[in-house]
Every structure is written in structure tokens, then in C-alpha cells.
Structure 1
């Protein structure tokens, strides 16, 4: 701060005059002051003060809040603070919210919060703290929310939270924590949400969560955990959300989730799991969401048969080569199923038959060579179906007859050589259809006749030699049509005649040698 700062002169003059003590008016209500805030000074509200409009203020005068005994909320976030004067918050006994986030604070003076007995929320996140004193929060006995994420903390004193017994939310994420003491959370019986993600934890003490039985959310994402003790979550009967994703877990103990009858959301993606015990999820009656994306799972046996309330299951990007017909039995509430990017070459024809509520199904990026005509039987609520990037050369004529709610169908990047005239019949809701990057030589002229609401059709990168004049007849809602990169030499004159009132705008692209230019996009106003 400059030596010419008028507030410093005010401080000096006031210090020489023992009859006057600087107050908030000295700094906030003097138009010549660096901290002048006309809104606050002329407002009837003296309970909320936000100084976030200030920038590059490395420190604040120790008496700047003097006289604001009734202030409730104080926002000092994002102003550039590098240090705080000892005693700066003295007298603010009614303060309930304090924001010190997104500054450059490295340390906190001892006892800086000693008079903030009413404080409930403290935000210290996004600073540069490397350590905190063990008693720094000892006076904050009413604290319910504490955020010290995104700092440079390598360790925490074992007793740092011992006096904050009313804490409900604690965020320790995005630091450099390499270990935590076994009883660091002991006594936090009111804690509901705990975030420890994005640290460097390679292990956790077996009893670390024993004292926080009310916990509802626990985030351990993006650490370096390789193993977890069998009883690590024992007693967390209220936990509804658990995130252990992006660690280095090779396996999970069979009974690791025992007693977690309230668990609804489970994130296990981006680990190195190779297998899971058959009954590992059997004691989770409320489980709705499981994400196992990006592991090394094979899963030869059914492990979800007892998860009756499961709604979303993500198994994409694993090493699953086959699934048994009963693998998904009992999952009647599932709406979203992701099996993409595995090694599936075959699917039992009845594997999806009981998934009557399925809304989204991803089978793309596998090695499927064929599909049974009844594979999608009973999926009357299915809206999004991805079968692209497989090795399909043909499709049964009636394969989509039960998927009457289908809105998006992706068949691109297969080896399809022919499609039957009626294959898309009975799909009145279909809006997006991708058949590009296949080996189609021709199309039946009535193949799209029932797709009245189709808005996007991709046929590019096939081997189409010709198209019938009526190929696209009736597609009055079509906005985008891609037929580039085919073998088309001519197009029928009226091929894009949708109806008498449609305004058609075409954009063409130059094709490769010996190929005539063709419309790539048709926009209908």
C-alpha cells in the first residue's frame, strides 16, 4: 500500500489524537479513502459488507471494522490480501459469515478469530496456506461450514477441529495432504458433507470416519488410494453419496459397503479395478447410481441382481468380453445403461428384456458382429440408442419394432451393406438418425417414409451410387442432411422436394475425384 494512502494519514493523525479512535467511517465513508464505499455508508443496512470491488489490496487497517458490532456478513474475497492484521475482527461478535476466499493469504495470526463466537460459515479456500495452527478455530464453537480447499496444506494438526463440534460441511479438497490422523474428525457428530478430493492420500486409517455417523456425502476423488480397509466405512449408515473415483484401487473388500443402507450414489470410475465380489452391492437397497467407467473389469457373473432400485449403471471403458443372459436381472428401474467401449462381440437376446424403464442404452465401441431380432424387445421407453462403432454388417428387419419412443439412433461406423425397406417403420418419434461411415451401396426408396419428425439424417461416407427421387419424401421436419463422401455422380432433379411450402437452403461441398458435388446440409425454415 502506498505511503501516500490518505487512510494511512488518517491513522497517523488519529493515533496522535488520543480522543479519537479510527472507526469504519474513517475508511469506508471518507471519499478520499482507498476503501470508500458509498453504498454501505449511505445504506440503512449495516449488517452486510462486501469489499470484493477492491483489487490488489494486500492488507487492511486493523480498525477498519471498528464500530460494526452488528455486522452479520463480511465478504473480503478476491481483493488480493496477503496478510491480515491481528485483532482486525475483534468486536464482531455477531458475525455469522466471513469470506476470505481467493486471496493470497499464507498465514493467519494466532487468535484472529477469537471474538467471532457467532460465526457459522468461514471460507478460506483458494489461498496459499501451507499450514494452520492447531487452535486456529478453537473459538468458533458455532461454526457449521468451513472451506479450506485449494490451498497448499500438506498436513493438518490432529486437534484442529476438536472445538468445531457443530460443523456440518467441511471442505479439505485440492490441497497436498499426504495423510490424515485417525481421530482428526473425532467428535464431529453433526458433519453431513466431507470433501477430501484432489489430495495425495495413499491410505486412510481404518477408524478415520468412526466419529461422523451422520455423514451424508463423502468425496475422496482424485487421491492415490491403492487399498481400502474392509471396515473403513463401517457405521456410515446415513451416507447417501460416496465418491472414490480417480484413485488407484485394484480391488475392493467384499464387505466394504456393509451397513451403508442409505447409499444412493456410488462413484468408482477411473480406478484399476479388475474384478468385484459377486455380493459386493447386495446390502445397498437404495442404490440408484453406480459409475464404474474406465476400470479393467471383466465381470463374468451377475453382481447387480439385488440392486432393485438401480436407475443408472455405467460400465463403459472396461474389458468386458461377454455378459450372461441374467446379468441385468432385477434391474427393472434402470433408465440409463452404458456398456460402451468394451470388448463385447455377442449379446444374449433376452439380456435387456426386463429393463422396461430403460431410456438410454450405449453399446457403441464394442465388437458386435450381429444382433438378435428380439434384442430390444420390451424397450418401449427407450429414447437414445447408440450402436455405432461396432462390426455389424446386417440388422434384422424387426429389430427396432418395439422401440417406439426412440428419438436418437446411432448406427454409424459399422459395416452395414444393406438395410431393409421396413427397418425404421414404427419409429414415429425418431429425430436424429446416423448411418454414416458404413458400406451402404443403395437405399430402399421407402426406407424413411414413416420418420415424419426426423430433423437430422447422416448418410455421409458410405458407398451410395444412386438415390431414388422419393428417398427423402415426407421428411418435412428435416433440418440437416449429410450425404457427402459417397459415390454419387448424379442426383434426381426433385430429390429434395419435401413439400410445397418448405423453404430449402442447400450447402454443397466439393467431393473427391470422379464424384459429383452433393448437398451436405439442408436447412428448412
Structure 2
């Protein structure tokens, strides 16, 4: 049931949820007290839980949702909420809270959701949320494990620089823990001990330089996603992830790694991201310790210059997507990609590749999509693509290709989408597309093409999309489009040098939906 708080200016039946009203800078009870389970005191200038607010909380045993966000609370050390044993949700984000003591949550045994984000907390210790040993040091402090039912804890966007071991001992039911965008530099051993129900842990945007080998010890058996993005990590201990058999997503983007870290523990990684690090070389031994296949391995924007022959053969089989875009690779040898027999998606765009040996892709028998856009290729050979019998999409845009030989793509029998935009082609010769009997899309835009051979497209009876914009064509006749005439639905001739159109050009294009002749 949806329940709402209304201040004294709201009309009866108004469904809008409002902030508390306040007089003279102080909230007044009648303006914010709810009798239906919710109390919202947002942006009310509250600096402490006292006066009318404190008295209101004392008589609200049925309250289930308390929102004190966007105020100026500075500390939580007293059992302010002890009179609300049925509280399920407590929102304290966007205050000025610099310290929290576990006494503040005394008797909240049904609390599920606690948001302390965007405050000024500087550490998490045993006294923050309590541990079983607290009673020994503070016998009169109340229950040391008052919020054992908590499932969602948000501590992101504070000033936390230290997480003490065993600090979350009483939160065994916790499913989501957010610690991103703090100042944590080190994760000590057993930092998250007892969090065996955790399935999401976010630590990105800290200052992590070191993660001790057992930082996740006795924790995280159910964890599926781990984000360490935007830190300063250059190394991970070999056994760090041993206790995470269910981990499927590991995100290490924007750190300081200069080699691929070992991954032991997970049974199967779906996503492994190493984008924007400083990896220069990939060696076979980097993968030998891996216990899990990474279905998707993303190394976008590193400084990668060299891949040892057979390096990927060290990976457990199962990688289907490999992104090596925006690196510094200059060549591909016959064995560079050995071991990737399950690969379906390969992105090598935006490197410096000017040389590809024949058979370089010969082991990629399942590859469906290949991108070589944004490299320095000047020519192609049919055997360059040998073995790519299942590949249906090939991107060669933004290279320096000036000519294409006969049957350049004859080793690609399944190709449907071919992108050759932004090259230096000056003609489309007969036989260039020989063997491509399934082609549906051909992009030749932004080249220097002045001549399209009458037989160049003769075999392209399935072609539906043809982009010849940004070239130097001065004429085009119907004979040049006889092949795709029955299927063509998109034809762009924009930004050429056409001065007249063959009257018969359009007569056979029965399915044409888009014709662009602009800027001629």
C-alpha cells in the first residue's frame, strides 16, 4: 500500500509526497508526523534529533519508513530510533554525519535498508555497526548487533579512508554494499568477513593501491559483481577471488595494471573488464593461473603493443568476445590469436595495424563479427581472411586501402555486412565482391571512387543498403545496379559530382525507400 506524508499546506487526497514544514528554522511535529507508516523530514534544516522531532519519534512505534535526507545532521551516537522497532527503511543521505555508533541502531531488528551516502564519515570500524566483541568493551552499550536483518547498506560518497577488519560482522544478511567514491587506499584482510549473503559490492572511485590477499576472506560466496574501477591498483593477489565461485562480473577499468592479473576462484566469468590500464604485453603465462573462462574480455584503451604467439591459448576455453580496441598493435601473425576457437566477436579497431599474415584468423572458426576499422591497412588479400566461414560482419572503415584485388573477400562466404567507408578507394572493379552472395549492406562512403564497374555489383542480388556518398562519381547508369535492383531499399549518392541521372536508373528499383542525392 502506498502511504504518503503531507505537510499542512497539502490538500486532502493530494498524492504528492512532500518535505516537512518548519517554523523559525525548526521542524514542527504536526507538519511532518505521519500516522500511516511513513515520515519524511527532507530539507528541513535538522541539525540534531531533538525537540519536537525527537518527541515525535518516541511516539511512532509503527513507523516503517523514516526519511531524514538533505538535512544537516552531524552525528549519530544515541539510540534515537529505539522507539521504532518496526522500522524497515532509514534514509540519512545528504547530511553532514561524521560519526556513527552502533547504539544509534539499537532495537532496529527489522531494518532492511540504510542509506548513509553523501555524508562525512571517515572510517568504518567495529563500533560503527557493532560486532559480537563490542559487548566485552562496552557492556552497557545495548545490543551490539541491532541491525542483523539489514540487506542494503549505502556508504558511497563519504570520506571513508579506512575499513577495519570484521567491521561488518553483524550484517550477515547484507546483499548490497556500496562503498564507491570514498578515500579507501587499502583493503585489509577480512575487511568483509561474514558477508556471505552479499551479491553486489561496489568499490569503484576510491584510492585503492593495495588489496590484501584475504581481504574477501570468509565473505562473498554469493557475490556476482565486483567493481574496482577508478582506483590505483597495479596488482591483485593470486588467491584474492578464491572464495567467489559465483562471480560473473569483474571490473578493473581505469587502474594502473601493466599486466593481466591472475583470476582464480570464479567458475565462470561473463564480463572481465581491464579498460584504460597500462598493459603493454600479453603473455601466455598471464592466463595459465586462470580457473575461469572469461566470456567477454575487454582491454579497450591500454598501451598494448605485443601479444605472444599462443598467449590466449592459456585461457580456459569459452571466450566469445574480445575487445582490443584503441591500443598500439601494429601486426597480427599466424599464431597471435591461437586458442580463441570459441570467439564470436573480435574488435581490433583503432590500433596501428598495417600487416596481417595470411591465416591470422584461421583458428577463429566461430567468429561472426570482426572490426579492423581505424587501422593502417593499405591492401587486402583473399587468404588474409581464410577460416572465417561464419563471419557475417566485417568493418574495414577508416584505413588507408587504395585498391582491392579480385575476389578480395572470397574467403568470407557468410558475409552480410561490409564496411569500407573512409578509405582511399578510387574504383570498384569487377570481381571485387566475388563470392559474397549473401551481402545485404555495403558501405563505400567517403572514398575517392570515380568509377563503378558495370559488373561490380552484378552478383549482389540480396543487397538492400548501398552507401556511395562522399565520393567522386559523375554518372551512374541502371546497368550498374542490375544485381541488387530487386532488393535495394536504401541508396545514398550524396556528396558526389553527379550532374544528371539516368532516366532508367530508378525504373527497376521497386523496393527503394530512401534515395539521397543531396550535395551534388
The TM-score by the shorter chain falls in which range? Answer: 0.7 to 0.9
Provide the residue aligned with 2:503 in structure 1.
493
Q: 1:252 to 1:373 in 2, by over 3 A?
A: closer
Q: Does 1:242 align with 2:233?
A: no
The root-mean-square deviation of aligned C-alpha atoms, in Å, is: 3.4
Bigger proportion of residues as strand = 2
Q: 1:333 to 1:501 in 2, by over 3 A?
A: closer
SS for the counterpart of 2:394 is strand
* Range 415-424 or range 265-274, more displaced: 415-424
SS for the counterpart of 1:280 is helix
Q: Does 1:125 align with 2:117?
A: yes
Per-residue deviation at 1:290?
A: 0.9
Q: Does 1:392 align with 2:392?
A: no
Which among 330, 337, 351 is matched to residue 346 of structure 2?
Answer: 337
Provide the residue aligned with 2:180 in structure 1.
173
SS for the counterpart of 1:265 is strand
- Between the aligned partners of 1:337 and 1:50, the Cα distance in structure 2 is 53
Q: Deviations over 1:274-294 (max 9, x none)?
A: 123313223334321111111
- Between the aligned partners of 1:419 and 1:277, the Cα distance in structure 2 is 41
Q: 1:198 to 1:95 in 2, by over 3 A?
A: same
Provide the residue aligned with 2:454 in structure 1.
445
* Range 377-386 or range 328-337, more displaced: 377-386
Per-residue deviation at 1:193?
A: 2.9
- Between the aligned partners of 1:216 and 1:145, the Cα distance in structure 2 is 15
Which among 175, 200, 216 is matched to residue 209 of structure 1?
Answer: 216
Gaps of 5+ in 2: 1-20, 131-145
- Between the aligned partners of 1:284 and 1:453, the Cα distance in structure 2 is 45
Superposition pairs of residues 357-396 of structure 1, within 5 angstroms: 357-396=366-405
- Between the aligned partners of 2:95 and 2:386, the Cα distance in structure 1 is 60
Q: 1:451 to 1:119 in 2, by over 3 A?
A: farther
- Between the aligned partners of 2:485 and 2:67, the Cα distance in structure 1 is 59
Q: Does 1:186 align with 2:193?
A: yes
Contact (CA 8 Å) 2:86, 2:110: kept in 1 or not? yes
- Between the aligned partners of 2:319 and 2:491, the Cα distance in structure 1 is 38
Provide the residue aligned with 1:80 in structure 2.
70
Q: 1:386 to 1:499 in 2, by over 3 A?
A: closer
Q: 1:174 to 1:384 in 2, by over 3 A?
A: farther
Per-residue deviation at 1:361?
A: 0.8
Q: 1:447 to 1:170 in 2, by over 3 A?
A: same
- Between the aligned partners of 2:309 and 2:163, the Cα distance in structure 1 is 43
Provide the residue aligned with 1:348 in structure 2.
357
- Between the aligned partners of 1:507 and 1:415, the Cα distance in structure 2 is 22
TM-score (ref. length: structure 2): 0.79
Per-residue deviation at 1:456?
A: 3.9
- Between the aligned partners of 1:75 and 1:479, the Cα distance in structure 2 is 59
- Between the aligned partners of 2:345 and 2:163, the Cα distance in structure 1 is 41
Q: Does 1:3 align with 2:10?
A: no
* Range 309-318 or range 165-174, more displaced: 165-174
TM-score (ref. length: structure 1): 0.78
Contact (CA 8 Å) 1:63, 1:88: kept in 2 or not? no
Per-residue deviation at 1:429?
A: 5.3
Q: Does 1:226 align with 2:230?
A: no
- Between the aligned partners of 1:477 and 1:123, the Cα distance in structure 2 is 58
Contact (CA 8 Å) 1:238, 1:260: kept in 2 or not? yes
Provide the residue aligned with 1:112 in structure 2.
104
Gaps of 5+ in 1: 12-26, 28-32, 510-517, 519-525
Per-residue deviation at 1:397?
A: 3.1
Q: Does 1:423 align with 2:448?
A: no
Provide the residue aligned with 2:491 in structure 1.
481
- Between the aligned partners of 1:302 and 1:286, the Cα distance in structure 2 is 16
Superposition pairs of residues 451-466 of structure 1, within 5 angstroms: 451=460, 454-466=463-475
Per-residue deviation at 1:221?
A: 0.8
Contact (CA 8 Å) 1:62, 1:87: kept in 2 or not? no
- Between the aligned partners of 1:263 and 1:420, the Cα distance in structure 2 is 46
Per-residue deviation at 1:81?
A: 2.8
Q: Does 1:271 align with 2:293?
A: no
Q: 1:162 to 1:406 in 2, by over 3 A?
A: same
SS for the counterpart of 1:135 is helix
Contact (CA 8 Å) 2:343, 2:364: kept in 1 or not? yes
SS for the counterpart of 2:311 is coil
Contact (CA 8 Å) 2:490, 2:513: kept in 1 or not? no
- Between the aligned partners of 1:310 and 1:422, the Cα distance in structure 2 is 36
SS for the counterpart of 1:136 is helix
SS for the counterpart of 1:471 is helix
Q: Deviations over 1:490-518 (max 9, x none)?
A: 43234344546867765622xxxxxxxx3
- Between the aligned partners of 2:79 and 2:508, the Cα distance in structure 1 is 77
**Count of matched residue pairs:** 472
Q: Deviations over 1:227-286 (max 9, x none)?
A: 334444455444332211111122356xx3245444442111110011233132233343
Provide the residue aligned with 1:515 in structure 2.
none
- Between the aligned partners of 1:504 and 1:227, the Cα distance in structure 2 is 54
Provide the residue aligned with 1:89 in structure 2.
81
Contact (CA 8 Å) 1:107, 1:131: kept in 2 or not? no
Q: 1:201 to 1:442 in 2, by over 3 A?
A: same
Contact (CA 8 Å) 1:125, 1:150: kept in 2 or not? yes
Provide the residue aligned with 2:43 in structure 1.
56
Provide the residue aligned with 2:18 in structure 1.
none
Per-residue deviation at 1:427?
A: 4.7
- Between the aligned partners of 2:226 and 2:150, the Cα distance in structure 1 is 19
Provide the residue aligned with 1:19 in structure 2.
none
- Between the aligned partners of 1:136 and 1:205, the Cα distance in structure 2 is 22
